[in-house]
Chain A
């Protein structure tokens, strides 16, 4: 991470996207037993320009659902999403919808399923250009397609090939190229490297950093791999069972994780250089499927620090008290807060360790 980039990230940036009380429920069960699956509950966060925000959590945490709501594949059950100050629910005409989908495109997880196998690679890119760059004459589209391919590190001759001739890593770059062709402001990247071999991931992670630094694009990086989140992201949002558990600047959250779930997630990351941690051996739990939930913290069954309040009151995301003996209250200007949704973490003055 270079010096100028570090400084640029700390100066105040315009806000691109904000969610307010975003909630998405699904109806499950047959006609006789209608129940509600709470995939996302009351989620509030914001993304500014030129930043990469990592949205981390396990399956069922709601992170993919959030991406799909932001991509307008789903409508929120309640709450609102604001892009550049305007609510998404206000998008009615096809023109507005098209404009939004060009500014906020999505990159999918599966490199083999996300490209139509019967067409050449250029098909998708050219369609993106046709739909979203009306000012570009048709004759110039192939040249522009070649240009975005070069930006993402692909040889333009691949435009003529078929998807089956390309590797997984190359196909994921195509996903980014298509997004780039639409001149986006925010890319929703839904686990873009999860299905790639570990040695190939670095190339794509570096590409994301390049897109932020050189093209000025923000990225919402959805993942379950904290280590890769640390490598690319400026801020981290940790989700559990549909709610935000902890959020803040990534280094803060990773060096001083306050929510027990964040600590668990960190302890489970395999790091060959570190000795095997004992804590992970004791956790056999799984994230719950949240159906018609009662109030209370959804992590309490797996949490070694749970107290009575945890079973009665759902914790709200609030700013952490500064640690005792710390540098006093207030957050340096331009820096984001470190928030946590945990009764124990919010009320104790020192850092408590649930999982080390």
Chain B
């Protein structure tokens, strides 16, 4: 029994803005993105990267792998970031590498979050023996140190392809998110609207898919963004230490080659710095979107503009 409520619609700041369906939702998301500065910046950055990944040929005119130029050229209009030790155009490398990075980010993000939703919510909702078993599975993977495990997996796959990278990162990342989602699903389990759904005769699976999961979209989206961010960082790190396929064009592999050739010491600093900067910017884009999503979903977190500054 708690606080009484009455005839006032809850349009107060504490009201949660739910997601609707279709046109209505898109319009609201659009408005939310435009009004929140973090969301705008993050979205714009992400869109730029996506465009680059989709149409690399439009932006960079050279092939990234062709060592057609003189090595170690400085910045010029022909080579926006110069060339590396092998005479490859650095700018093209980064532009073409974007696709690999984004694919890893989105696929890992979606796969990790998908598995985590299935296992986490099922564990919470089914309870009992299922919960116990799934928990053991989750906890074991949670406790294993992530990076060493990644190294071992990647090493065993003989420095495998991007697919191996994606699989390895997904395998080692889903358990953290699963725990979070299970915790949130547990708090929802005894909410009256779920009891109401049970009492009116809905089936278990329907309740999980239609009634429970949509109320968790906030956390699910945040998980996706976080996992995408960490995928970028982990993948680049693995590629950097040589566990990716050194012949794929990606930011991490560029860093790998830069390190191999002691780029910083031999006067080619851009070779090392530029890919690092790209990773940082993409990471920042995901992080900004994460903050922004929090603020959009929970109005209490929004920054308050001082009203006195508005008065004459």
Q: Which A residues form the contact surface with B (CB < 8 A)?
A: 59, 71-73, 97-98, 101-102, 105-106, 108-120, 124, 127-128, 131-132, 162-170, 175, 178, 182, 191, 194-200
Contacts and interface: CB of A to CB of B under 8 A. Distances in A.
A196 B1 contact: no
Contacts of A102: 200-201
B1 A73 contact: no
Contacts of A110: 2, 192
A167 B5 contact: yes
Contact of A166 (B2, B9, B192, B214): B9
B198 A73 contact: yes
A167 B6 contact: yes
Contacts of B148: none
B154 to A, nearest CB: 40
B201 A111 contact: no
B244 to A, nearest CB: 40
A97 B201 contact: yes
Given A194-B1, A195-B2, A197-B4, A101 B200 contact: yes
B218 to A, nearest CB: 10
A105 B199 contact: yes
Contact of B16 (A106, A113, A164): A164
B198 A127 contact: no
Contacts of B71: none
A109 B192 CA distance: 8
Nearest to B215: A118
Given A113-B191, A118-B19, A118-B214, A168 B7 contact: yes
Contact of B193 (A98, A101, A113, A195): A113
B21 to A, nearest CB: 8
Contact of B199 (A59, A106, A109, A169): A106
B115 to A, nearest CB: 23
B199 A101 contact: yes
B217 interface: yes
A164 B197 CA distance: 19
Contacts of B195: 73, 108, 114
22 contacts: A71-B199, A72-B199, A73-B198, A105-B199, A113-B193, A114-B195, A116-B197, A116-B215, A118-B215, A124-B196, A131-B201, A132-B200, A132-B201, A162-B18, A164-B10, A165-B9, A166-B9, A167-B6, A167-B8, A182-B200, A195-B1, A195-B3
Interface residues of B, number: 32
B277 to A, nearest CB: 39
B20 A197 contact: no
A66 B110 CA distance: 45
Contacts of A112: 5, 10
A177 to B, nearest CB: 13
A89 to B, nearest CB: 18
Given A108-B192, A117-B16, A127 B7 contact: no
B5 A127 contact: no
Interface in B217-242: 217
Contacts, number: 114
Contacts of B19: 118
A211 B85 CA distance: 85
A114 B191 CA distance: 7
B199 A73 contact: yes
A97 B200 CA distance: 10
Given A113-B192, A115-B193, A165-B11, A197 B6 contact: yes
Contacts of B198: 73
B18 A164 contact: yes
Nearest to B203: A94
Q: Which 4 A-B pairs have the closest CB atoms?
A: A197-B6, A168-B5, A114-B192, A113-B192
B9 to A, nearest CB: 5
A320 B16 CA distance: 54
A72 B195 CA distance: 11
A164 B6 contact: no
B211 interface: yes
Given A164-B15, A194-B4, 8 more contacts: A109-B192, A113-B192, A118-B214, A162-B18, A167-B5, A167-B10, A169-B7, A196-B6
Contact of B6 (A59, A116, A118, A169): A169
B139 interface: no
Interface string B72-112: 00000000000000000000000000000000000000000
Contacts of A124: 196, 200
Nearest to A131: B201
A105 B304 CA distance: 45
Contacts of A200: 6-7
Contacts of A199: 6-7
B161 to A, nearest CB: 40
A113 B197 CA distance: 12
Given A101-B201, A131-B201, A165-B9, A108 B196 contact: yes
